Amino acid sequence: MDPALYRGRFAPSPTGPLHIGSLIAATGSYLEARRHGGQWLVRMEDLDPPREMPGAADLILQTLDIYGFEWDGEVLYQSTRADAYETALDTLRSRGMLYPCGCTRKEISDSAVHGIDGPVYPGTCRHGLAAGKTARAWRVIADDREITFDDTLQGHLSQHLSRDIGDFVVKRADGFYAYQLAVVVDDAAQDISHIVRGCDLLDSTPRQIYLQQVLGLPTPGYTHLPVATNRAGEKLSKQTLATALDLQRPVPALHRALQFLGQTPPSALLNADLKTLWQWAFLHWDPERIPRSRSIPAPA
Ligand code: GLU
């Protein structure tokens, strides 16, 4: 493809410092963008203040810098994007696809069947709030469509939104915008052509493609990398107490991330400087070598 058209991105949430799992996602998306001669953007997904850690956004950018990532343009902060998200909600509203929901979490889990990502919303408020209920969240109607897509690593995937997910929240009861909405609006606003990220977001992708379709936005290409798991088989994250990346010694962690992604950096490069390791990676990066599984135990 025309290199000018390839635009990738890394979109961390500032809930804590970067760890080996986030480094793997950043490295995969960066090297794919470089391979295509395209651009690579960083977007700070700071739209969930209750889960955020003070100082994490700056620490993440500092870490990326120390690890030798060079991003294009300014970092986009989702906390500045409320107008764009409201415009998208207006579009959904004008198409009759948005409605207020007064159900509590407990009411939903008591009455719903379990889907692939929690309870499938039973549609209680779809035709109006029941007497005595006040609007809490805003949901988009998930119609009967089957969403299918081809992931470059994970293959052909499909999801039936109304059966597997149900009407889903696009603006939360606490007033914050839902990740699913914000990510779609911003990927389009930033002209992202390819999304390379962890498999933990694979089940979210059909909701995002659906929102792209109903909002009239383009659908980018998708590559979902295997996620690193701990000994208990859980995805490494702040919640599972993943260790923060070492800011003093970027080379060993980057070397491990490359190995995790199926690449074969010579062990001698463990003693090289960071620039030399990146040069090796730019020259030898081969996406065909990335394991096609959804999760792999984290490298020691
Ligand atoms: N902000 C999300 C996360 O840190 C990633 C979003 C995305 O890549 O689409 O898990």
Full DSSP string of 9-34: EE---SSS--BHHHHHHHHHHHHHHH
Report the pocket of ligand 1 as residue ranges, CB < 6 Å. 11-13, 45, 183, 197, 201
Domain closes at, from 179, 200, 229:
179
215 and 74, same domain (yes or no)? yes
168 and 189, same domain (yes or no)? no
Q: How far is the CA of 25 from the centre of ligand 1 (A)?
A: 9
CATH of the domain at 119: 3.40.50.620
Percent of the chain with pLDDT over 90: 82
21 and 170, same domain (yes or no)? no
What does the pLDDT look like over 54-107, one tens digit per residue? 999 999 999 999 999 999 999 999 999 999 999 999 999 999 999 999 998 888
Q: By residue range, what is the domain housing residue 164?
A: 99-179
Q: How far is the CA of 129 from the centre of ligand 1 (A)?
A: 32
Closest ligand 1 atom to the C-alpha of 9? 8
List the structure tokens of 121. Answer: 């919303």
Q: How far is the CA of 100 from the centre of ligand 1 (A)?
A: 26
Is the pLDDT at 182 greater than 80, yes or no?
Answer: yes
Q: How far is the CA of 271 from the centre of ligand 1 (A)?
A: 32
Is the pLDDT at 299 greater than 70, yes or no?
Answer: no
What does the pLDDT look like over 234-281, one tens digit per residue? 887 766 768 999 999 999 999 999 999 999 999 999 999 999 999 999
Closest ligand 1 atom to the C-alpha of 187? 9
Q: How far is the CA of 12 from the centre of ligand 1 (A)?
A: 5
pTM for this entry: 0.95
Is 249 a domain residue? Answer: yes
289 and 195, same domain (yes or no)? yes
Q: How far is the CA of 197 from the centre of ligand 1 (A)?
A: 7
Q: What angle do CA 224, 230, 233 make, to 5 degrees?
A: 75
Residue 50 CA, distance from chain mean position: 18
Closest ligand 1 atom to the C-alpha of 198? 8
Read off φ and ψ for residue 63, nearest 5 degrees. Answer: -65, -45
Q: How many domains does the chain have?
A: 2
Is 88 a domain residue? Answer: no
Residue 57 near residue 46, CB atoms below 8 Å: yes
Best residue for ligand 1 mutational test, from 75, 185, 197 (most atoms within 8 Å of Cβ): 197
Q: Is 183 left (phi over 0), alpha (psi -120 to 50) or beta?
A: alpha
The closest residue, in CA terms, to atom 6 on ligand 1 is 11
160 and 209, same domain (yes or no)? no
